[in-house]
Amino acid sequence: MSEPRARNFADIRYVFLDRDGVLNRCGDGSFVTRWEQCELLPGVEDAIARLNLSGRKVIVVTNQRGVALGVCTRADVMALHRRLREHLMAHGARLDAIYFCPHDAGECNCRKPLPGLFEQAFGDFPGATAGNSVMVGDSISDIEAGANLGMQTVLIADPLQSPRAHAERAAALATASATSLLDFVRTWLVVQPKV
């Protein structure tokens, strides 16, 4: 971890999260298309609840290429996200918004690392800026997306999982690294209840 580069995390008000690999296990490269396939990673509920208590907004931005490939539909993705929100709420945690890209590469402006999902979020959350936001992801496209916008970035690199493609490049580009979302929240964010 690179502490000097991560010194401004205390000013973060908006936490952007990738879904697969940050909130839930990715599996063997297959798509997570139904809630029954969605295995949340350890500590996710606690991490999001801590962010909520601190007054930070928690926003998911996720590429869901399975829609473009016909593996699932937009309705499937939305149903999974509805169940995810219900599960988190039952554990005292809340997602403020979820944005997803259903397209394949080259078909849109919203597939990370392109900025479209973030532009939607910045439109819906006028207080959000690159300066007060962080992107937390497990892939090079997540880190590049945040870095291209001038956001701080955190690479989730679970030592128990096989490294993702371009992991070294993502680690070099990221502001900081953590082993999980909960590790990031505990290590880098000063999480105090909002007044």
Angle of helix 116-124 relative to helix 140-149, nearest 10 degrees?
50
* Catalytic one of 11, 20, 76, 96: 20
Q: Quick one: residue 21, left, alpha or beta (phi over 0 = left, psi -120 to 50 = alpha)?
A: left
DSSP, residue by residue, 79-124: HHHHHHHHHHHHTT---SEEEEE-PPTTS-S-STTSSHHHHHHHHH
Is 20 among the residues known to form the active site? yes
* Catalytic one of 11, 18, 104, 142: 18
Integer CA distances (angstroms), 172 to 75, 154, 155, in order: 37, 11, 10
Q: Which residues of 90-106 are buried (b: 16+ CB within 10 A; e: fewer)?
A: eeebebbebbbbbbeee
Integer CA distances (angstroms), 121 to 3, 15, 115, 125, in order: 28, 11, 10, 6
Three-class SS state of 41: coil
The separation between CA 10 and the C-alpha centre of its own chain, rounded to angstroms, equals 18
The separation between CA 171 and the C-alpha centre of its own chain, rounded to angstroms, equals 16
Is 124 among the residues known to form the active site? no
Catalytic residues: 18, 20
